[in-house]
């Protein structure tokens, strides 16, 4: 008899085991919702799926009477733009600074302590400061995302660079590679797939900072909409928005994983893009 640690599920078994928790959650929700609605048909805490369908249709397929926009899609576009700009800036800064700190001892001595201290500052604690400095526009929201995930990404890239085999660096220098050539031809190809993995891990935090900023100061966005309708206890809108955010995050993670596998196929065997 195989030990439990050595038993592998089939492909169908993986799908079944992966879907089982979601099925159980849905069943629990349906039972609890039916019980609450049987006692109070106007209950807003756990709406029926019919109420969800009506709310989704209203938000996604009916133009707003005030603005004329389809609110779900307008909110999605606004949030994805902020998220994309913030994560893109963070990735670029982290790639440059992380490599320099990781490979150049003088840079590491001068900047690593600062990055470490900044990474320990709770980003949400400085959100009011950002609004005071940058105002209530887009810059403050994007800056919060950048400040929230960039220190983590820099430290991750730095550690990945420092973890590269020393023999690799020595051989490149023996063959006459300059510091710039060493970074571009040896380190960069090794670090880029690791950076994509780090960005994937930081997506949850990026969404958190985005929603927090939108909840405080925005006129459109997924986080703004959730906090706007909460005053009406509109769970038929809030829960679909939460599910939609989760699906967007999952899709982004999946696309980044596919990008890593496509651009750096050798990493698949090394476990760098899972």
pLDDT at 273: 43
Residue 200 CA to its chain's centroid (Å):
6
**The tokens of 9 are what?**
């599920």
pLDDT of 67 higher than 60: yes
pLDDT band for position 269 (cuts 50, 70, 90): low
Give dist(CA 210, CA 163) in Å, integer.
32
Give dist(CA 30, CA 114) in Å, integer.
51
Residue 220 buriedness (CB in 10 A; 0-12 / 13-18 / 19+): middle
Give dist(CA 28, CA 89) in Å, integer.
42
Q: What is the DSSP string of 74-96?
A: HHHHHHHHHHHHHHHHHHHHHHH
Q: What percent of the chain has pLDDT over 90?
A: 45
**The tokens of 181 are what?**
């050539």
Three-class HEC string of 173-223: HHCCCCHHHHHHHHHHHHHHHHHHHHHHHHHHHHHHHHHHHHHHCCCCCHH
Residue 101 CA to its chain's centroid (Å):
25
- Only one residue has tokens 């490979």, namely 103
pLDDT at 175: 85
pLDDT of 127 higher than 90: no
pLDDT at 267: 67
Mean pLDDT of the chain: 88
pLDDT of 134 higher than 70: yes
**The tokens of 45 are what?**
């805490």
Q: What is the mean pLDDT of residues 227-234?
A: 86
For 71-270, give the CATH class.
mainly alpha
pLDDT at 231: 83
Give dist(CA 202, CA 153) in Å, integer.
8
**6-58: pLDDT as tens digits:** 788 888 888 888 889 989 999 998 999 898 888 888 888 888 888 899 999 99
Separate counts of helices (H) and strands (E) for the chain: 12, 0
Give dist(CA 179, CA 2) in Å, integer.
52
Q: Is the dihedral of CA 255, 204, 123, 116 positive or negative?
A: negative
pLDDT at 48: 87
pLDDT at 1: 62
Cβ-proximal residues to 14 (8 Å cutoff; 6+ apart), any chain = none
pLDDT at 268: 62
Q: How many CB atoms lie within 10 A of CB 162?
A: 13
Q: Parse the chain into domains and list their residue ranges.
A: 4-46, 71-270
Cβ-proximal residues to 257 (8 Å cutoff; 6+ apart), any chain = 196, 200, 273, 274
- Full-model pTM: 0.85
């Amino acid at each position: 008899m195989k030990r439990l640690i050595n038993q592998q599920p089939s492909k169908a078994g993986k799908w079944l085991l992966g879907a089982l928790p979601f099925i159980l959650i849905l069943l629990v929700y349906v039972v609890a919702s039916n019980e609450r609605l049987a006692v109070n048909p106007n209950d807003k805490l756990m709406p029926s799926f019919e109420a969800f369908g009506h709310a989704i249709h209203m938000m996604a397929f009916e133009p707003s009477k005030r603005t004329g926009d389809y609110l779900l899609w307008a909110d999605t576009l606004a949030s994805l733009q902020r998220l994309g700009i913030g994560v893109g800036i963070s990735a670029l800064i982290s790639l440059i600074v992380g490599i320099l700190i990781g490979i150049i001892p003088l840079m590491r001595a001068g900047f690593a302590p600062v990055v470490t201290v900044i990474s320990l500052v709770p980003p949400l604690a400085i959100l009011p400061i950002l609004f005071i400095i940058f105002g209530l526009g887009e810059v403050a929201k994007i800056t919060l995302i950048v400040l929230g995930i960039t220190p983590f990404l820099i430290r991750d890239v730095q550690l990945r660079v420092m973890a590269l085999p020393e023999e690799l660096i020595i051989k490149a220098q023996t063959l006459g590679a300059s510091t710039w050539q060493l970074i571009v031809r040896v380190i960069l190809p090794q670090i880029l797939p690791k950076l994509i993995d780090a960005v994937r891990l930081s997506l949850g935090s990026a969404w958190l900072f985005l929603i927090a900023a939108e909840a405080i100061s925005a006129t459109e966005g997924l986080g703004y909409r959730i906090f706007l309708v909460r005053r009406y206890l509109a769970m038929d809108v809030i829960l679909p928005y939460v599910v939609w955010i989760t699906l967007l995050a999952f899709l982004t993670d999946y696309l980044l994983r596919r990008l890593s596998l496509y651009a750096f196929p050798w990493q698949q065997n090394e476990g760098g893009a899972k």
